[in-house]
Amino acid sequence: MIKDFKTLRILVVDDNLLILMALSRFLRKIALVKVASTAEEALEAIGEQHYDLCFLDFILPGMTGLDAMKIINEQSPKTKVAFMTGTLLNEAMKEQVDGYAYTFIEEPFALSDIEGVVERVTVALNH
């Protein structure tokens, strides 16, 4: 388990309540966490507060995760976006995402995958 980084702010965006609950419970042990179940809620949260890391689902009701990621990058360019997808991204989609996503997490994922992303972001922020 990584060290306690309570100053790290993480936004988790997913419409799947089980994923949202599991990730937030896990991440709250090491960071300040906010959850959102839509892209619109996520953008509102980004407008109110800076987040170091955003775990963002690809398929969301309303605005897609891809569209939200582009707006997050414009509004909060220092926020690292970990794009979560169970959908195989075709080459055209990968090209659209390149330059916006910090990393990709393929669903289903293990909490160790999440922990690895948090560790990399924490190291990057401390250098």
**What would the 3-class secondary structure string for 83-116 be?**
EEECCCCCHHHHHHHCCCCCEEEECCCCHHHHHH
- pLDDT attached to residue 79: 96
**Predicted pLDDT at 1:** 44
Domain edges within the chain: 9-122
- Angle among Cα 18, 91, 57 to the nearest 5 degrees reads 15
The angle, 0 to 180 degrees and rounded to 10, between the axes of the packed helices 17-27 and 111-125 is: 50
* Per-residue CA distances from 4 to 22, 28, 43, 102, 119 (Å): 18, 10, 27, 22, 11
pLDDT tens track of the chain, all 127 residues? Answer: 445 455 899 999 999 999 999 999 999 998 999 999 999 999 999 999 999 999 999 889 999 998 999 999 999 999 999 988 876 655 556 666 667 788 888 888 899 999 999 999 998 888 7
Its pTM stands at 0.89
What is residue 100's predicted lDDT score, i.e. its pLDDT? 78
Residue 101, pLDDT score: 81
Topology, domain 9-122: Rossmann fold (3.40.50)
Identify the pLDDT of residue 31: 93
